[in-house]
Structure formats: structure tokens, C-alpha cells
Chain A
Amino acid sequence: MSPIIYMKQVKKRYQTGAVAFEALKGINLIVNPGEFIAVVGPSGSGKSTLMNIMGCLDVPSSGIYKLEDELVNKMTHNQLADIRNQKIGFVFQAFNLLPYATAFENVEVPLLFAKVNGKKRRARVIELLARVGLADKAGNRPTEMSGGEMQRVAIARALANEPDIILADEPTGNLDSKSGSGIVSLFDELHSAGKTIVIITHDMNIAQHAQRLVRLKDGLMDTGTEDPQLATAS
């Protein structure tokens, strides 16, 4: 079985004025289809940086990144946009909903970009909202919802085009523990349904839901969690 995510010697350098900072110093990581992985590590260790590259929201400075056997490094703006639309569902800590749009309209956005037509699109949005338990909140704006509800809308939106991979950067970070555990059980459900899930968290209770832990420290993976094959190959 070929890996769904393949990273080799992925580095990310940030240039702030004259100062360059290497946030990722050579990540070697393989994720197989259907895996549930938790990324942990201290603040500033590069978790979000890694996740953004994985989600094609950013590009690595060097190294190889293959998504479903396709090399991401060389892709154009538009190809990356299509991958974000079709293959990856991204869930942010700060929800990132369009503030002026209703729950329904927020979930609709990726479907519009995918050019799903009217009737089908509406049915799909209703189905997605029902799946995250928000069938009755379709007309609410973000200001009219709780944090937990907003994150559910964001998850429904991430699922819109049936991506194989769900990436979540501290999805419960802005939530109380009760709403947080609701979100975690949603991820459990998605995992049972066959999705590949990578989640960043500070919370060890949440990390325990994952099959595998990836520990980051100072832009490098802890040797225990690194893929042995890749590590030796480099």
C-alpha cells in the first residue's frame, strides 16, 4: 500500500528581515491511508508549519512532499488550489468561517469552487450539517453560534468534497473540554469511516485517540516517531 503522505527531508525557512529562521529542519514522515496521527510537541516546535505544508497552504523551502504519489513541490497555484478543494479538509484552531455568511453558506463555499450544481449542492450541505449535528443551525451566522458549533461547521465544510485527508491544527484549542470532546468523537467517527486524520494537539487525552504519535522538537521529529526506513535512507 503506497503512503498517502510522503515527506522526505522537508525543510522550511522563514526570512524575517535579515534574520533567517529554520522552523523545520528536515522532516521525514510517512502517513498511510486510514491512519489517525496526532502531532505533539512544545510551542514553537514547528507543528503548525508542518501542518500547513501538509495541507498545501504553504510550500516547503526544500525536500520532497508527495501527496497520493503526486509531487507537490512543483505544482502551480491552481493545482494547489484544486488539491485543497478536493483532497484535503483543513480544520483551524480559530475556525476561519466567513463572518458574514450563515452556517449553510459557509459549508457551501468549497462546493461552489468545485462547481457542484444547485440541487445537489443544497442537498449535500444539509447532509453535512446533519452529520455534525447542526441541522437546525443552518441559518445562523458565526456570531450566533457557540465555539463548539462553529468548529462543527468548519468540520462540515472540511468534509464538503469528501476529501481523503482531514488535517486539524489544534481543533479544540479554543473550546472548553465538553465541546472539545464532542469534536474529538467526530474525528473518531471520521476515522472509522476510513478517513486519514492528522491532528495537532497539546492535550494528551486527545492524543490518545490517535494510533500513532509524532513528536516534534525544534523543527525535528523525535527519533522514536520518525519513520525508520526514511531516517536511515537520508
Chain B
Amino acid sequence: MLPFITFKQFLNDLRRQKLRSALTMFGIFWGSCAIVLLFAFGQGLTEAQLTSQKGMGDNIAIFWPGVTSQEFKGLSKGRRIRLTEEDCELLKKSSVTVSRISPEYRRHSIPLKYGKNNTLRNIIGVWPEFGIMRNLIPEFGSRFINQRDMAERRRVIFIGNILKTDLFGAEEAVGQTVLLNGTPFTVIGVMKEKVQNSSYGGRDSRTVFMPASTFRSMWGHRYINNFVIQARPEYSMLQARREVYETLGAKYRFDPEDREALGVWDTSRGFEFLKNFFAAFQAFLVGIGVSTLITGGIGVSNIMNVVLEERTKEIGIKMALGARKSYILTQFILETLLITGVGGFLGFLFAWAVVSVIPLLPFPDLEQMIGTPRVSLLSGIMITALLGVIGFFAGIFPARRAANLQPVRALKLF
């Protein structure tokens, strides 16, 4: 380790060369700040998009009845396929790839009344498994529809959080009775607020869910509107989809390859797509980051080169006065470490400050759109280290070359 005396001189030199130190430090500061921010926003945005995609349900597929588009075993095309709750039961029993399934019965604009409040809402009749598949998480102290509700055809409903506020305001909803189409229903659950930016047939936050059995007894529907499945973890959604087409194709006698007979929306595909999209997005950010780093590195080495002349002469003078080579190199290394360390730390701090200020800005929707930017300490350290290495190499070679010369050459080089 260097004796204190040498360190004192090192600090002296640094202080004397304020401009150079400041410029170099600013280069590092700017580089690390820009990149930390870039990654912070990239990360936040990615997370925000992926969670809001998950809002509708993770890894599910929704099937609609359709019309056959191919002749099959002597049957003409253009036949309408209609699905029933029994089809769901069949799939639940016979299928190996499907882990959860639920039919959906729908009715639109059904009058709902609580006290003086009236509203028209979409009603969906479902099985208990629907809640888990579609990410309908009950608020504390409430629950989703269960098997007994189904079996006993109870007059109970689970409602979206916005609907709850519309009807009940701040009042407790669970346990209250509302009039649904004139019939009294008990609220058993309220959905926890969630981010959802894709849906079919309306947002969950404004919808009423009831047991499929209750729904059927009320309105006497024979056919379901659609059904939702989730694949077993050991099978892919593609395999599950194929099995659904084969099972129902056998039952209704359509070609399992006929994509028109059943419509399908596979959210796992969208999720895959989004994941890929954001991987590409991150790669893009890395690209920007790398070019920023290169620019910063060039800046840093330029500053180092601007002072090369002064530096070489200074090294020559010091050697003439008895400085050993190790002293020259240690001073240089310390200088680089200090400048990059402080610059990088300040840049990181500044980025962190910017990120902390964002939630305080008066734009309530901002967070939902861009997510919560997250500063990663690791990225800060890595970037600072990288810039430090660039700065180091930019300067160490001239310094070493000068230190290897005879003093008279270093003095006369320029």
C-alpha cells in the first residue's frame, strides 16, 4: 500500500487539475446515469405490460362455438356447432391435458339494484374454477363461488371492484342483498383490484359472476357462450387445444383441424408474444446502452488524451525528481478509480432520485402505463466498472509508456 505521504500528493494533484477531473467525472456520471435510467424504465415497462396481460388470466385458452368450414365424414360444411355445459363436463372427465375448465353463460344489461342505486350489468354464470383461471382474487373476508353454491344453485354473486363501489360506495358489500332482475341475491365476494388490459365481453371489475347452475335455472339457457381451460403444467397449451378439438370434434363430428368449428383465443400465445417482444425491447435497450457506453468511453479517453501532453511532461518531471515507476502507475490507477467511482456513484444516485420522483408526479395513470421503474444496483456497479475500465485503458497506456521512458524522453516528447 502507498504511504500516506504519496496519497497526499495524489490528492494535491487531483485538486490542482480540477477541470480534467471534473470533465472525466462528468462523462462517467452521465454514462452511468443514462444507462441506469434506461434499464430502470425498460424493466418497469416490461413488468407493467406483463402483469396487465396476466390480469385476464395466466396461460388460459377461451373457446367459442363456431361454424364448420370443411366437409367431414359425409357431413356438409357450414354446420353450426353449439356447446353445452355437458361438453365441459365431458372434457373435465376425459381429458388428460386439461387441468381446469369452466363454461360461461352470459347475459347483458341485467338490472341490478341496491337501495336507491340502479345499474345495468353483464352477468356471467361460471364454475368455481373460473375464479382461479381468470385471476379473480377475492378481497379479504370474501370468497369466490364454490361447489356448494353450484350444487345448491344458491342465489349468490361475486362482483367486480368497480361495480362494488358503484353500488355500495364505501359500505361493506359482502353479506348484503341486491336485487338482480328483481330476484334477491347475496353478495359473497368482491374482486381485488387488478390491472387488466385485455378482455372479451367486458372488464371483470364491472361484471357480476354467479354459479352456472343458478344462471341456468334463472334463464333456462341450453347453450353456453364459451368456455375457458387451463392446461396441466406437464402439457403445453397447444396439446390441450388439440385434445379439445379432438374430443369435441368426435362428439359433434367435425374435423379436428377445422379452426372455424371452434374459435379459440390462447392467451398463452399472447403472453409468449409479449415476452418475446419485451425480450427484444430489452435487447434494444442494451444496444442503446452499449452505444452510450462507447460514446461515454470515447469521451473519457478523449479527455485523457487532451491532457496527454501535460501528463507526459508531468511524469517526466516527477521521474527526474526521483519518482519510481510504481508511484507513477499507482497514482494513475488511484486517480482513475476515484474519478470513475465518484462519477458512477453520483450518476447512480441521480438516476435513483429521478426514479423516486416519478411516483410523486401528478399523473395518476403514469404508473399503469410505464410501470414502476426499478433501479438496479448491479447495473449501476457494472456500468461504472465498465466505464472505469474504458477510462483506465484510455489512460494507462500513455501513462505506462511515459513511465517506461528515460525521464529525458518523457520531458522532450512534445
Q: How far is the CA of A86 from the CA of B318 in the complex (A)?
A: 14
List, in ascending order, chain B residues with CB within 8 A of A85's CB: 321-322
Q: Decide if B5 is an interface residue (CB 8 Å cutoff).
A: yes
Given the known inter-chain contacts A101-B16, A105-B12, please indicate yes or no for A84 contacting B319, CB distance below 8 A.
Answer: yes
B324 adjacent to A57 (CB under 8 Å): no
B5 adjacent to A77 (CB under 8 Å): no
Given the known inter-chain contacts A57-B406, A105-B12, please indicate yes or no for A100 contacting B322, CB distance below 8 A.
Answer: no
**CB closest chain-A residue, reference B317:** A96
List, in ascending order, chain A residues with CB within 8 A of B406's CB: 57-59
Q: How far is the CA of A105 from the CA of B16 in the complex (A)?
A: 11
**CB closest chain-A residue, reference B407:** A57
* Partner among B16, B310, B322, B411 whose Cβ is within 8 Å of the Cβ of A84: B322
For window 92-116 of A, CB contacts with B under 8 Å fall at 92, 96-101, 105, 108-110, 112-115
Q: How far is the CA of A98 from the CA of B310 in the complex (A)?
A: 10
Given the known inter-chain contacts A57-B407, A57-B408, A98-B317, please indicate yes or no for A86 contacting B16, CB distance below 8 A.
Answer: no
A100 adjacent to B321 (CB under 8 Å): no
A109 adjacent to B9 (CB under 8 Å): yes
Q: Decide if B217 is an interface residue (CB 8 Å cutoff).
A: no
List, in ascending order, chain A residues with CB within 8 A of B6's CB: 112
A90 adjacent to B9 (CB under 8 Å): no
Fill in one digit per residue for A114-131: 1 if any B CB lies within 8 Å of its CB, else 0: 110110000000000000
List, in ascending order, chain A residues with CB within 8 A of B408's CB: 52, 57-58
Q: Decide if B314 is an interface residue (CB 8 Å cutoff).
A: yes
Per the CB 8 Å criterion, the residue count for chain B at the interface is: 29
B17 adjacent to A100 (CB under 8 Å): yes
* Partner among A58, A77, A84, A105 whose Cβ is within 8 Å of the Cβ of B321: A84
List, in ascending order, chain B residues with CB within 8 A of A161's CB: 322
B314 adjacent to A112 (CB under 8 Å): no
Fill in one digit per residue for B370-414: 1 if any A CB lies within 8 Å of its CB, else 0: 000000000000000000000000000000000000111101000
- Report the minimum CB–CB distance from B402 to chain A (whole Å): 13
**CB closest chain-B residue, reference A90:** B320
Q: Decide if A8 is an interface residue (CB 8 Å cutoff).
A: no
List, in ascending order, chain A residues with CB within 8 A of B353's CB: none
B12 adjacent to A157 (CB under 8 Å): no
Q: Decide if B325 is an interface residue (CB 8 Å cutoff).
A: yes
- Report the minimum CB–CB distance from B10 to chain A (whole Å): 10
B5 adjacent to A84 (CB under 8 Å): no
**CB closest chain-A residue, reference B410:** A57
Q: How far is the CA of A85 from the CA of B5 in the complex (A)?
A: 16
Q: How far is the CA of A115 from the CA of B411 in the complex (A)?
A: 24
**CB closest chain-A residue, reference B328:** A81
Fill in one digit per residue for A170-202: 1 if any B CB lies within 8 Å of its CB, else 0: 000000000000000000000000000000000
- Report the minimum CB–CB distance from B405 to chain A (whole Å): 10
Which of B16, B17, B320 lies at the interface centre, i.e. has the most chain A CB atoms within 10 A of its CB?
B320
Q: Decide if B115 is an interface residue (CB 8 Å cutoff).
A: no
**CB closest chain-B residue, reference A84:** B322
Q: Decide if A82 is an interface residue (CB 8 Å cutoff).
A: yes
Q: How far is the CA of A101 from the CA of B409 in the complex (A)?
A: 22
* Partner among A59, A78, A84 whose Cβ is within 8 Å of the Cβ of B325: A78
Q: Decide if B271 is an interface residue (CB 8 Å cutoff).
A: no
List, in ascending order, chain B residues with CB within 8 A of A117's CB: 5
B314 adjacent to A84 (CB under 8 Å): no
List, in ascending order, chain B residues with CB within 8 A of A96's CB: 313, 316-317, 320, 411
List, in ascending order, chain B residues with CB within 8 A of A84's CB: 319-322, 407
Given the known inter-chain contacts A57-B408, A96-B411, A101-B12, please indicate yes or no for A113 contacting B323, CB distance below 8 A.
Answer: yes
B320 adjacent to A113 (CB under 8 Å): no
Q: How far is the CA of A197 from the CA of B318 in the complex (A)?
A: 22
A112 adjacent to B9 (CB under 8 Å): yes
Which of B8, B320, B322 lies at the interface centre, i.e. has the most chain A CB atoms within 10 A of its CB?
B322
List, in ascending order, chain B residues with CB within 8 A of A115's CB: 3, 5
Given the known inter-chain contacts A100-B16, A101-B16, please indicate yes or no for A81 contacting B317, CB distance below 8 A.
Answer: no
Fill in one digit per residue for B271-293: 1 if any A CB lies within 8 Å of its CB, else 0: 00000000000000000000000
Q: How far is the CA of A112 from the CA of B325 in the complex (A)?
A: 15
List, in ascending order, chain A residues with CB within 8 A of B318's CB: 109, 113
List, in ascending order, chain A residues with CB within 8 A of B8's CB: 112
**CB closest chain-A residue, reference B9:** A112
Q: Decide if B327 is an interface residue (CB 8 Å cutoff).
A: yes
Q: How far is the CA of A161 from the CA of B283 in the complex (A)?
A: 60
List, in ascending order, chain B residues with CB within 8 A of A110's CB: 321-322
A82 adjacent to B322 (CB under 8 Å): yes
User: Can you list 18 A-B contacts with CB-CB less than 8 angstroms, sorted by A residue number?
Assistant: A55-B320, A59-B406, A81-B322, A84-B321, A85-B322, A96-B313, A96-B316, A96-B317, A98-B314, A99-B310, A100-B17, A108-B9, A109-B321, A112-B5, A113-B323, A114-B322, A115-B3, A115-B5
Q: 20 other contacts beyond A84-B322, A117-B5, with CB at 8 A cut-off? A: A57-B406, A58-B406, A77-B324, A78-B325, A78-B326, A81-B322, A82-B324, A85-B322, A96-B317, A98-B16, A98-B317, A99-B310, A105-B12, A108-B9, A112-B6, A112-B8, A113-B321, A113-B323, A113-B327, A118-B5
List A residues at the B interface (Cβ < 8 Å): 52, 55, 57-59, 77-78, 81-82, 84-86, 90, 92, 96-101, 105, 108-110, 112-115, 117-118, 157, 161
List B residues at the A interface (Cβ < 8 Å): 3, 5-6, 8-9, 12-13, 16-17, 310, 313-314, 316-327, 406-409, 411
- 9 closest A-B pairs (Cβ-Cβ)? A85-B322, A100-B16, A57-B408, A113-B322, A57-B407, A58-B408, A52-B408, A110-B321, A81-B324
